Structure 1
Amino acid sequence: MEYLQKSLRLDGWDYRTPWFYFITICTKNRKYYLGEIKNGRMGLSDQGCAAWYFWNQIPNHFEKVKLDSFIVMPNHVHGIIQLLPEDNGLNPVASCNCKMPQGKIREFGKSKAGSLSMILNGYKGAVTRWCNLKGYEFKWQSRFHDHIIRNEKSLNRIREYIECNPLNWEKDSKNVM
């Protein structure tokens, strides 16, 4: 029997499309590799510092990428990535009047150059390689969660969620240890 792994990506959506994407990447088994929260503030471990550093390096390695709000938490990273259009100066959230495609989840496919998956695989690989080189225990979950941000109101709500994540850690569903 052949096992098919289902993708979490939206069927019919090209993840190279210039847009804003809300990303969550969890550590393997949600282990607290990246640091800890004390008094509502995130304190980064060495692995967490690497996760923070390499997140900020993404635009240096991938053209047409702009970073927005992000946070490294004890067992996950939240961030907003904007894939930029081809130098036409348009803001995809503010300027697009098209309807978001709807549909079923499709089967897992190969990453395409310039796609969100390619960018995040590069990021996760950089953090993992650094941790391995330094002899730190560290693993990511194999997938990531994304949300295509529909409008500016949602973008602002997600920015606030990211900023307040350490303060709300006790109520966070990813706080599992």
Structure 2
Amino acid sequence: MKYDPDFNHRQSIRLNGYDYSTSGAYFITICTHEREHLFGDIVNEMMQFNTCGDIARSHWQQLAQYHPNIIMDESIVMPNHLHGIIILESSMDYKKSISEVIRGFKTFSAKTINKERGLRGVPVWQRSYYDRIIRNELELDRVRQYIINNPRNWDADKNNQNQSSTNTDP
């Protein structure tokens, strides 16, 4: 395929000049490819996982086993996206950036999900992800509450293609 700058060139949404291997807390949102409802449904303001949702949640929760420099904080897998807080602790012995952690998560979870679906090479996740550097304890608490309340606010969520009102992102 020939290089097309309008199609192949994407502008980075990362904070310009920021070292994403720096210690800190990061609020991560990863959406499914084309916002496909792949992981289950919201029933009575609670997430009801299907098998693919269980796989995504399990892979997310196990990230700290593969990356000794991260602590997994609050998270939620929704029908077509996930939100999570990763606390990164830099060390001289092990220095992985948030993008490396997310890339590994997306790769391995997609392979497992596609195996479950009987598919090969089908995109599970969007090409990128959203991040926000959490700057203080007040913001950390606010993001935690947003994640906890996400199923309750699903009707207003911008990731819900059937939304009935406006978005309530933090």
Q: TM-score, normalised by structure 2?
A: 0.84
Structure 2 residue 35 is matched with structure 1 residue 30 = yes
Offset at residue 133 of structure 1 (A): 2.0
Q: Secondary structure at the match of 1:59?
A: helix
1:146 has 2:131 as partner: yes
Distance in 2 of aligned mates of 1:22 and 1:49: 21
Q: Give yes or no for contact 1:47–1:136 (8 Å, CA) kept in 2.
A: no
- After superposition, the CA RMSD in angstroms is 1.6
**Structure 1 contact 37–169 (Cα < 8 Å) conserved:** yes
- Give me the whole-angstrom Cα distance separating, in 2, the residues matched to 1:40 and 1:65: 30
Alignment of 1:157-172 (within 5 A): 157-172=142-157
| % identical aligned pairs | 39
Runs of 4+ in structure 1 over 4 Å off: none
Deviation at 1:63, TM superposition (A): 2.2
SS at match of 2:13: strand
How many residue pairs get aligned? The number is 152
Residue 52 (structure 1) aligned to one of 37, 49, 57: 57
Structure 1 length as normaliser, TM-score?
0.81
> Partner letter of residue 100 of structure 2?
M
Specify every segment of 5 or more residues in structure 2 that has no aligned partner in the other structure, as ranges: 163-170
- What is the rounded CA distance, in whole Å, between the counterparts of 2:63 and 2:12 in structure 1? 23
Equivalent-residue separation in structure 2 for 1:156 and 1:31 (angstroms): 29
Q: What amino acid sits opposite 2:104 in the alignment?
A: G
